[in-house]
Structure 1
Amino acid sequence: MAYLYGSAEAAALSEQTYNALTAYVRGVIERARDRRGRLPTERRAGTLPRWPQSAVLVPGATAASAETSPCSALPPAVVLDMDETAVLNLGYEYDEARTGAAYDVKRWDRWERTGADKVVAVPGAVAAFRQLRALGVTMVINSNRSADNAAAAAKALRTAGLGEFRHGDTLYLKGDVDGRSGKDGRRLEIAKHYCVLALVGDQLGDFADLFNPPGPAPALGRRALAGVGPIQARWGQGWFVLPNPVYGTGLGTGWDETFPQDKRWGDAPAEGAK
């Protein structure tokens, strides 16, 4: 917690990620300019020009294929997770650190409903949201906060300085679309209305549900999966990850997975040393 919420290093990583996101999206837009130099978000003859493929994987995609959905002439958007991606939950994490309490669903629900004024924007987010909106890009939040607390989620985003969000349009929550905690259903629904130029999150499930198959999390396999060719090529090229050493699927490895047997070293003093 001290690293994510208190260190300059974590702030720099977040700024770096949002800088890279903004530069990437700006580049996509500039490459899509027509010969007259018009931005693709400018309507001509009542239509929008075609964009490249979106950042959202098609249904049934695998790490080996990782095919993305087409965009056609939809308006551009960036889709982001909320917690520890757009906002930092300082109030909640303070209470957890102070009490040492384990995660509790009812406690988190109380936080969602009452903690909207105890969050701050992730470093770099406010500037990135402003710059991307100025380019004509819609910012869409896809969060596993409860749809029952949609108004409180929108308030938290507004309080953090990230602007206005409308439930069902620019704010999607757990309970929407298919009711699942996996986000693929919501991502595909968003992709019906927007060309999703980039995805941003702090957990791999913010990019594709294929990283979180049913059953116990295969921690070592997940690490290898992130480096499979078609997936590896997406990091920084439409998929942008923010640091979160506090909670989530990234903390699943044990001793043996973290330190392979053939890479272990033990200090042995030289013979005769005192």
Structure 2
Amino acid sequence: MIVVTGATGGVGAEVVRGLVESGHRVRALSRRPDELTVPAGVETARADLADADSLAAAFAGGTALFLYSTFGDPAIPVAAAKAAGIERIVLLSSAAVRDGADDPIARHHRAVEQAVESSGLAWTHLRPGGFASNARWLAPQVRDGVVRLAYPEVGTAPIDPADIAAVAVRALTEDGHAGRAYPLTGPEWLTQADEIRILAAALGVPLRVERVDAEAEIAVLTGSIPERFARGRLEIQAAMVDRPSYVVDTVERILGRPARTFADWVAAHVTEFK
């Protein structure tokens, strides 16, 4: 039995689907399991990563765990996994750990990695950079035809969450991944302005990028996401102005196929921007 936390999330839901397609027994966890939509045959259970009692029941009988750790004490889910007899943890971490960042998000992910490593269980860390799906935060502005950005020149190599999930499925089910920390990116480096051009081409409409100060972009984004996430996003971008991003081929090496491009992701989700 493979246990998947965060099964309502973009990566977790894809991990569940990929495991089922590979023929594995899966238990999908959420704080609100009634909201889960899962393939036939998948068990569902309630789990709160801050509640050891709920985790004891949710992890029981599991052999491997996909862990998406929300903010909180990472020792709680790690200890529960070990007590339940889970043998392997695949952790959805962050590229911020590899990059040596010192913002709250990086510090949290670093602490979770350390807790997992000290557990004595087999572990694999997945460290993705920017998600292609983060473009959804800009959807209201895209519909208005003007996208306001503080740092349009800042770029990443955005990765499709489905590719992160596919790597997770391999790490959960194959040998050879224990003790590895995998940086994950998409196949090409793009500035935010590049991403807007790709969206415009896919939609067949003109989109204008307007440079604004950071506080103005935070104010706009807060209409789509919580302010703390908007502020964290802008803090990370400010730090990236003088720190070039990178592209790695981890997805292709593990999956045996190229990583999906940002344009691929947009083509699959273009209706969300109309």
**TM-score past 0.5 threshold:** no
More helix by share: 2
What is the TM-score normalised by the length of structure 1? 0.30
Bigger strand fraction: 2
TM-score normalized by the length of structure 2: 0.30
